[in-house]
Structure 1
């Protein structure tokens, strides 16, 4: 990467997203630009102003459920070096999974699909596009009868599967079709499958030009999103530690072909 580098991080007001912005700003130079994005103007402005580092950090308002806004951001930049799709909707135990499904899927899956459509075409040689996912995104977390829906699927096909699963959640037929009750599992599997679909089409050219498209699992991180669901945080990472581990992988060059188009946790591809 030469000249000014540009990074975009979604869901960057707090937690891992903000830590990723802070770590990028510390590692990059004063010529570089890191865009900290989120949907609340006040929180975006405050978060961007609080980041100290070498690279320039700018806040950009971006509602990732607005797919046109994602496309517009990509078009306005024209070229980009690092894109980290990190936005997520917090699930809480106080509400049913069905009640939270539409909001969660719009952010976790709709936004992922939009990022994967809009940003790969403007990724510079040496660029990186990363989907922050989870180890829940491996197919082994789903009933084997559902695996063919995702294996070798195109991005359009993954999107169609997500739509049908979402409808099944609402009409009460999801369990009978083999889907797990916890919506985070199918959502993460679909995130990884969507990434794989795009990476599969671009693999040869991307590796020739040192580009990386992959998903990462940062592991258990102590954030407000994970707090309601786990009792033991003694081995959890801080957002800062998680961001450093993620960026150690993301910024490594040249790209390891064995990790291109894969879900990676702690430097190892998960399958």
Structure 2
């Protein structure tokens, strides 16, 4: 990557997203720009200002209000960065809607799917075309995102699927949740499991189309699993969070992927945890214990 690099993180005014912005701003140079994005204008402005004024910050930090469920807004921002800066060097899709243990999963499904899946699809579609050679497009997912976490009946919906097919599968699942037929069809009760599988499948779909060209230019598209992170959203789900990482610690492994030289073919298009790919077909079908936002 050259100087005057442009990085963007979604869902970045708190938790892991904020830590990723802090880490990018510390590792990039004074001519580089990190865009911290989120939906709440006040929180975005406060977080951007605090990071910009921190002693460890070297790069420039700016806040941008961005609703990731607005595909038009994502496309407009990508077009702006393409026109003004010739593209973007780093995109980390990190936004997620919280799940609450005291509410039914079905009642929360739409908001969760719109952010975790709809936004992932829109980020891939909007920022893939403006990703600079040698750039990084990473989707923060989970170790629950391997195909083996789903009932085998559902594997054909995601294995080798195109992005359009992944979107169709997600909407079919959403419909089944609302009609009360999801479990009968084999879908796990806990919405974060199929959502994470679909996130990784979407990354794999886009990567499959770009692999040869991207690897030749040192460009990397991947899903990343940061591990268990102690955040406001995750705490209600942990019986014991003593072993969870701080957001800053969890961000380090993701940032190591961002700043690695070249693009490792073994990581390209895969779900990466602590620098290693997780087998796409691995894992066991989800159980009730997977109700937690397991990393």
Shorter-normalised TM-score: what interval?
A: over 0.9
Runs of 4+ in 1 over 2 A off after TM superposition: none
Q: What do residues 208-244 of structure 1 show as CA deviations (whole Å, max 9, x unaligned)?
A: 0000000000010000111111112222110000111
Give the distance between the partners of 1:254 and 1:67, measured in 2 at CA: 30
Give the one of 249, 252, 255 matched to 1:244. 252
Give the distance between the partners of 1:33 and 1:246, measured in 2 at CA: 18
Equivalent residue for 1:174? Answer: 182
Contact 2:15 2:231 in 1 (8 A): yes
Residue 24 of structure 1 aligns to a residue in which SS? helix
Q: What do residues 72-105 of structure 1 show as CA deviations (whole Å, max 9, x unaligned)?
A: 0000000000000000000001111011000000
What's the Cα RMSD here? 0.6
Give the distance between the partners of 2:168 and 2:49, measured in 1 at CA: 40
Matches within 5 A, 1:168-247: 168-247=176-255
Shift of 1:250: 2.1
Give the distance between the partners of 2:168 and 2:242, measured in 1 at CA: 40
Contact 2:3 2:29 in 1 (8 A): no
2:47 counterpart of 1:56: no
* Number of positions where the alignment pairs a residue of Structure 1 with one of Structure 2: 271
Give the one of 49, 63, 69 matched to 1:65. 69
Q: What 5-or-longer segments of structure 2 have no aligned partner? A: 280-295
Equivalent residue for 2:286? Answer: none
Residue 131 of structure 1 aligns to a residue in which SS? strand
Residue 3 of structure 1 aligns to a residue in which SS? coil
Give the distance between the partners of 1:70 and 1:267, measured in 2 at CA: 28
Give the distance between the partners of 1:120 and 1:223, measured in 2 at CA: 29
Matches within 5 A, 1:1-271: 1-51=1-51, 52=54, 53-78=57-82, 79-271=87-279
Scaled by the length of structure 2, the TM-score of the pair is 0.91
Residue 35 of structure 2 aligns to a residue in which SS? strand
Shift of 1:140: 1.0
Contact 2:32 2:59 in 1 (8 A): yes
